Each structure stands twice: as structure tokens, then as C-alpha cells.
Amino acid sequence: MNQIKRQRIVRWLNIFLLIINVSAIATILLMSSGTPAENESAQFSSDEFLRDYLHLTNEQYREISEMDAKIFRVYQNIIDMQCEAQFRLLGELSKEEPDREYMDSLVVNIGRLHTGLKRQTIKHFTNIRSVVDDGQEELLEQLLINMMEMNKQCQFCNKADCDRRNQLFRDKK
């Protein structure tokens, strides 16, 4: 019985470490993928997509870009802090006798940082919503639904036919 429990813990630990490694590598590649000017161009290509998809005017595009400049800087700082915390967690997990309290504090910190990323994303889309007209707002809502794949399955329970998801769509109408 104890052996089975230990195997489960090791299996989940391996999955967790894999996730940390993949996200850390992706962050490192993203952060070292070029000069700051090139990284800014990635932001602008994202903005260009929105410009085309929502049929933004030049004035709307400029306004959104100005509002989002600070958001993207904060977003990058949070990603840096999250990567650092994940490496500290990995370092602690690698020790012969890892400190559980320290790891718990790191996990709480990573959770807070993830919350910060979500808040920045919310601000970004709130900025866009504040600038667009009604027709563009409908396109934006459809884009968000497609991005979150809410039209395929519920993000909370992974069911294709979820009452909560259906409730969300009924409330929108």
C-alpha cells in the first residue's frame, strides 16, 4: 500500500517537473529570442492580428496600443518572476531533503504570479472593449470564446455538454 502511494507521488512529481521545465524553457526561449525591439514587434504582430480581425480604425489601434504598453511591460516582469520562482522550486525539489514549507511558499508565490498574469490579460481585453464599437465587441467576444475553446467544452469540468457553460451562453443573449 505504501509503495503504491509512493509511486503515485513520484508520478505526479514527474508530471509537475515536466510542466515546470516546459514552461521554463518556453520562457527562456521567449525572453532570449532577440532584442527588445524584436520582442516588441511580437507584441505589435499580436496587435496587428486584432487590428485586422476587429477591423480597428487607426485611432482605435493607436489608443489600444498606448493603453497596453504598460500592461505588456508588467506581463513580461511577471513572467520573469514566475520563471525564477519555478527554478527555485526545481532547485529545492532536487535537494536530498527538500524544505516543504519553502516549497509551499514558492507554490503560493507562483499561484499569485499566475493570478497577476490573468489580471493583466483581463486589463488588455478590457482596454480593447473600451475602444471598440458594438459590432467589433461581438467579434471580440467570439474571438475570446474561440481562444478559450468555450464553444467546444467547459473549461471547468471538461464536459462538452455542461450546464454552467450553457448558462453562460444563455445569459449573453
Q: What is the pLDDT of residues 85-101, one digit of tens each?
A: 988 888 888 888 999 99
Q: What is the distance between the terminal CA atoms of the chain, rounded to a whole angstrom?
A: 53
Radius of gyration of the chain (CA): 20
Give the three-class secondary structure for 166. helix
Q: Residue 30 class from Cβ within 10 Å (0-12 exposed, 13-18 middle, 19+ buried)?
A: middle
Cβ(90)–Cβ(17) below 8 Å: yes
The pTM of this model reads 0.58
Amino acid at 124: H
Q: Which domain holds residue 87?
A: 2-132
Integer Cα distance of 122 and 16 in angstroms: 27
- Read off the C-alpha cell for 27: 520562457
Integer Cα distance of 141 and 164 in angstroms: 18
pLDDT at 21 over 80: no
Residue 158 lies in a domain: no
Percent of the chain with pLDDT over 90: 17
pLDDT tens-digit map of 119-161: 998 898 888 899 999 998 888 888 877 776 655 555 556 566 6
Residue 10 lies in a domain: yes
How many domains is the chain built from? 1
Q: Using 50, 70 and 90 to split pLDDT, how confident is the model at 115? A: very high
Exposure string for 138-162, b = 16+ CB within 10 A, e = fewer:
eebeebeeeeeeeeeebeeeeeeeb
Residue 112 lies in a domain: yes
Integer Cα distance of 29 and 25 in angstroms: 6
Q: DSSP class of residue 54? A: H
Residue 146 lies in a domain: no
Residue 37 lies in a domain: yes
Percent of the chain with pLDDT over 70: 63
Mean predicted confidence (pLDDT) in 50-76: 88
Q: DSSP class of residue 97? A: S
pLDDT at 43 over 60: no
- Read off the C-alpha cell for 141: 467576444
Residue 170 lies in a domain: no
pLDDT at 82 over 60: yes
